[in-house]
């Protein structure tokens, strides 16, 4: 009846099965193979003619198909080691007239790496669902790739790289200028990983006083030092156990602390201050910095062995100046975000403002752009953001760059030249203003005065 209505049903079914993403094997009640699709045959380096009629144990390594036939119990998402790879297999008994007449087996993913990458891909799509986001409240991570707004090719490539590395447990070093969104990428990596339901712990190594950083990271025992909390305290590494720890501003860490951190990363265990016992750790480490670590290593201010330990997978986040095609997307997003927060409705931005934005250098990157949009929304007199609404230093910078040299006074030329020199030195030293000041032969206070003067904060 079916064949009369669908004369090519047999060919259709065979084509679908042969080209299915999964590998397929079917055995009879005795565990003998009655079907095996081409993909599975190629992997096992056999032909269909060779395997038909053979017992499944003679063809597939570590198979359990014959066991499923005997006990009639299905096995879902079971790990199976075949030809040097861990497969993820399903085995389902085939029942007819109340008895097991065979079994149907599939390999869903050809190895655990493939499964992990697919898992990250699925998590990326789930992350756009609010209910999924709400489940992350207790873990500490809240940003996903969906929160990184862009349309540039360079950012699209970076996001794809994040999806592929999230499935691993390798250490990641995120580089980029201040304000580029390094922390958002750290959150995203965690939420796309198999550790997403475990803690995500952030530590700003540059914000914690040196004498407190060790106890903050590694914890301490009761009575370890004067002022220690009764009963001791868990360190950030212990809090992150099973999950991810994000060490921001790693370039600001002292050499003494670098040695202690390196030991923890090498031994995968931590010894709290005042304790003689070590605690085993299972923590993925993500670090970030805007400092030139290579130059710091040359100056013996950063350990090369620690650098190679934390930079197994390097990520570089480009500055806003390198991807100005993202400006429009970011401006639109920030207007929406700030408008909701402030309750002030802004629906438009004048083209002159966008033109000014495209010509501005954005030393502070995305963080500076968001602050400018927030100020503009507060200063806007209608639902339109105009040039009158944006900070003067943005407009002045654009005016200086748009004037011809003949239209500038000597003072303006000197100011413009000084500003450009400051910008280049700050960029060269990756935002390290102290290092830039030293290279220019001026004091730190003079550097900050000039930064404030030219609006380079």
What's the pLDDT score for residue 411? 66
What's this model's pTM, rounded to 2 decimal places?
Answer: 0.62
Segments of the chain assigned to CATH 3.30.450.20 = 2-110
What's the pLDDT score for residue 237? 95
For the chain, which residues score pLDDT lower than 50?
1-2, 129-133, 135-136, 400, 402-406
Query: Tens digits of per-residue pLDDT, 190-226?
Result: 988 888 889 999 999 988 888 889 889 998 887 666 6
What's the pLDDT score for residue 288? 96
Quote the CA–CA distance of 130 and 15 in Å, as a whole number.
39
What's the pLDDT score for residue 68? 93
Write the class of the CATH domain 324-453.
mainly alpha
What's the pLDDT score for residue 1? 42
Segments of the chain assigned to CATH 3.40.50.300 = 115-318
Angle at 159 between CA 198 and CA 312, to 5 degrees: 65
Quote the CA–CA distance of 388 and 38 in Å, as a whole number.
69
Domain 115-318 of CATH type 3.40.50.300 = yes
CB count in 10 Å sphere of residue 19: 10
Write the class of the CATH domain 2-110.
alpha beta
Report the phi/psi class of residue 98: left, alpha or beta, with left for phi > 0 and alpha for psi in -120 to 50.
Answer: left
What's the pLDDT score for residue 117? 61
Taking alpha carbons only, the member of 212, 233, 239 closest to residue 221 is 233
Segments of the chain assigned to CATH 1.10.8.60 = 324-453
What's the pLDDT score for residue 17? 67
Quote the CA–CA distance of 400 and 416 in Å, as a whole number.
7
- Is the CB of residue 106 less than 8 Å from the CB of residue 90? yes
């Amino acid at each position: 009846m079916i064949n009369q209505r669908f004369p090519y049903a047999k060919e259709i079914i065979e084509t679908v099965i042969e080209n299915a993403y999964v590998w397929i094997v079917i055995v009879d009640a005795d565990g003998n193979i009655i079907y095996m699709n081409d993909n599975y045959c190629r992997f096992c380096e056999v032909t269909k003619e060779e395997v038909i009629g053979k017992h499944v144990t003679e063809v597939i390594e570590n198979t359990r198909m014959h066991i499923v036939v005997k006990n009639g119990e299905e096995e879902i998402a079971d790990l199976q080691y075949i030809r040097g790879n861990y497969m993820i297999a399903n085995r389902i008994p085939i029942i007819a007239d109340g008895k097991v007449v065979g079994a149907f087996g599939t390999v869903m993913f050809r190895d655990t790496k493939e499964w992990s990458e697919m898992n990250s891909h699925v998590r990326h799509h789930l992350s756009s669902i609010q209910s999924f986001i709400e489940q992350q409240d207790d873990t500490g991570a809240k940003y996903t790739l969906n929160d990184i707004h862009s349309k540039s090719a360079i950012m699209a490539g970076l996001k794809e790289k994040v999806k592929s590395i999230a499935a691993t447990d390798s250490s990641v070093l995120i580089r980029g200028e201040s304000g580029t969104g390094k922390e958002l990428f750290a959150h995203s990596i965690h939420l796309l990983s198999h550790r997403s339901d475990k803690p995500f712990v952030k530590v700003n190594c540059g914000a914690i006083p040196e004498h407190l950083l060790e106890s903050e990271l590694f914890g301490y025992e009761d009575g370890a030092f004067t002022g220690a909390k009764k009963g001791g305290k868990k360190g950030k590494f212990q809090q992150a156990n099973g999950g991810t720890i994000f060490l921001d501003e790693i370039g600001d860490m002292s050499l003494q602390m670098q040695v202690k951190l390196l030991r923890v990363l090498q031994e995968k265990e931590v010894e709290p201050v005042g304790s003689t016992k070590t605690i085993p750790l299972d923590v993925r480490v993500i670090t970030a910095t805007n400092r030139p670590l290579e130059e710091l290593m040359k100056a013996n201010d950063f350990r090369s062995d620690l650098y190679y330990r934390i930079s197994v997978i390097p990520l570089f986040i480009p500055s806003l100046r390198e991807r100005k095609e993202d400006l429009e997307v970011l401006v639109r997003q920030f207007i929406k975000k700030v408008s909701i927060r402030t309750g002030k409705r802004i629906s438009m931005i004048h083209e002159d403002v966008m033109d000014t934005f495209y010509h501005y250098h954005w030393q502070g990157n995305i963080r500076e752009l968001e602050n400018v949009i927030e100020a503009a929304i507060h200063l806007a007199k209608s639902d339109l953001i105009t040039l009158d609404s944006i900070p003067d230093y943005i407009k002045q910078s654009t005016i200086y760059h748009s004037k011809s040299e003949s239209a500038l006074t000597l003072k303006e030329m000197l100011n413009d030249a000084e500003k450009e020199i400051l910008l280049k030195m700050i960029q060269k030293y990756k935002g390290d203003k102290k290092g830039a000041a030293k290279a220019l032969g001026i004091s730190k206070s003079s550097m900050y005065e000039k930064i404030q003067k030219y609006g380079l904060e």
